Structure 1
Amino acid sequence: MNTGPSAAPRLRPFTQVDVFSAEAYRGNPLAVVVEAEDLETETMQRFANWTNLSETAFVLPPTHPDADYRVRIFTGSEEFPFAGHPTLGSAHAWLEAGGIPQRDGVVVQECGAGLVRVRRDGGRLAFAAPPLTRSGTVAEDDLMRVAAGLGLPREALLDASWLVNGPDWIGVLLESAEQVLGIRPDYAAMAGLKVGVIGPHGHGSAVQFEVRTFVPGDAAAEDPVTGSFNAGAAQWLIRSGRAPESYLAAQGTALGRAGRIYVEAAGEDIWVGGDSVSCIEGWVLL
């Protein structure tokens, strides 16, 4: 946290990036302030609230010798130690601003969750899923609330797990992508819970899974595309044998978006990737 007197506002490079989509305005937008080293926490939080996006990222000089840059990630009301689409969007913005990583092909991001590797595969970026800080059994009372919130009978929830790597996600597996897309959420019924739902597409589909994530009480109650949840879900599904080691997931369909999340297990790592497009570039007075 910054201490000392506030710096006078100045113009700083600003980018709004659409993440998890190769087509502009079909993914999940992220605001990125590229030169944020002298901003106070209160200023970052106030600006993140003002952007009215799910997250705003602030790029700073690293404090760890192995990191290429440091990022702080804010929602409209709180700071997250890690989030997926801000990781990819921040790396995209940092590279476009002229950032040069210490290692060819890999960007190392420092954030509240530690060091996160971001690999470059052509124009696409992918982050190594950070370890889950909480996983496993979800209490039956919570699952009853989740089922009510999804408008489904309890037995429709084939499995569930905590998938916490920043946000406190509860992951829920349904029988099919069609069931996922048919959800009409009751946010009041699952108030206080962050719920991600995943279901498989049929054989022959170019996309293997359909994903939706719900955050009751947030201004954006359904997130267009969610890197943190997909990172946790990939670890859960691949390691339990429910998903292949490489798959493509869709998210945002119900919102008119076309988010695509590329997942690949390689050795001990699970990589979560997607395309990013810069849609707004300019300056912001902070």
Structure 2
Amino acid sequence: MATRRYLQLDVFAARAGTGNPLGVVLDADGMDTASMQALAAWLNLSETVFFVPMQDPAADYRIRIFTPGSELPFAGHPSVGAAWAALDAGLVDADARALVQECGAGLLPVRVEKTADGKRTIELCTPRRQALSTPPVAIPASLQALAAADAAPVLWSNGPAWWLLRANSAGAVRAFAPDFAAIAAFTNATDATGLVIFAPEAGAGHDVVVRAFCPGDAVNVPEDPVTGSANALVAAWLAAHAALPHADGRYVASQGRELGRDGRVQLRVDADGDVWLGGEVQPVIRGSLDW
């Protein structure tokens, strides 16, 4: 039985316990897909990443991303966490300021900033959003009541496919009591990863409030604490509707407070329309696993 290095990180977290946990298997060479999926299901975190041999010589490292229910071509908090882990574990030059991640979505640029106290902040360019055709499935009544009057829900993808619903107020997002069975049926019927609701909220240190629900078969996580791919699509939606909170394209999203977290996601929409996703990462567990 192979012993493999294992990390558990808290991503989009200013301190441990406030973001989204991520499992990281640093030595996944030799693991097949079934083994990776079984371990991700057993760990029961929203995602687990596995470092595997690179296929593209332009990459600095390669990962595969698994939820408890399926493999994803891209996900935000696993990608930010993986870049941090690659630097921390010495899989890449520890002083690198630019990296290239290889994953199911292709090659993604990564930028690394170091603070005065030596901490790293990761910023990753997410895949471009794609608008998907909307299947003829009725949106649950609770979601119809939540939606802003001038913003119909849309189904967009940047790897995972998310329903985006601009809510009528930040208070409505915070107070929303999800019907998980209805959301699961809706996302399963439309082949969506999940549903994200959002609204502007001028709060302490943030500009937008976000919640993401993925109780369906693809992920099987009722409410995700802090969701990078969903936040990146929200940023793309705001840019498309000329509704970014700041003229420079930068803002901070708050997610997870309803689950006892206080995740902060840093977003930037650049002049080319690319969405950059970033935040802080905290190491929580360092060890090994036998699988």
Match of 1:87 in 2: 79
CA RMSD of aligned residues (A): 2.1
Distance 1:11 1:102 in 2: 24
2:290 paired with 1:285:
yes
The answer to whether the 8 Å contact 1:151/1:185 transfers is no
Distance 2:59 2:42 in 1: 29
Distance 1:187 1:27 in 2: 22
Distance 1:153 1:131 in 2: 27
Match of 2:238 in 1: 237
- CA gap of 1:176–1:205, structure 2 versus 1, over 3 A, is farther
**Letter matched to residue 19 of structure 1:** V
Residues 28-55 of structure 1: CA distance to partner in whole angstroms, max 9, x if unpaired?
Answer: 0010000111111111111111001111
> C-alpha displacement at 1:61, in angstroms?
2.3
- CA gap of 1:280–1:213, structure 2 versus 1, over 3 A, is same
Distance 2:147 2:271 in 1: 36
- CA gap of 1:98–1:178, structure 2 versus 1, over 3 A, is same
State the secondary structure of the residue aligned to 2:36. helix
Distance 1:261 1:100 in 2: 24
Following superposition of structure 1 onto structure 2, how do residues 182-197 of structure 1 map, counting pairs within 5 Å? 182-190=175-183, 191-193=185-187, 194-197=194-197
Residues 232-284 of structure 1: CA distance to partner in whole angstroms, max 9, x if unpaired?
Answer: 11112123211131111000011110100111123323211111011000111
Match of 1:125 in 2: 122
Instruction: Structure 2: state its 5+ residue gaps.
Output: 115-119, 188-193
Match of 1:161 in 2: 154
**Identical columns (%):** 40
Match of 1:5 in 2: none
**Letter matched to residue 262 of structure 1:** Q
Distance 1:267 1:118 in 2: 17
Instruction: Structure 1: state its 5+ residue gaps.
Output: 1-8
Counterpart selection for 1:69 from 61, 75, 84 = 61
Match of 1:3 in 2: none
2:262 paired with 1:258:
yes
Counterpart selection for 2:170 from 163, 177, 182 = 177
**Letter matched to residue 127 of structure 1:** L
> C-alpha displacement at 1:166, in angstroms?
1.9
The answer to whether the 8 Å contact 1:150/1:184 transfers is no
Distance 2:150 2:162 in 1: 15
The number of equivalent residue pairs is: 273
The answer to whether the 8 Å contact 1:73/1:80 transfers is yes
Distance 2:259 2:201 in 1: 18
2:29 paired with 1:37:
yes
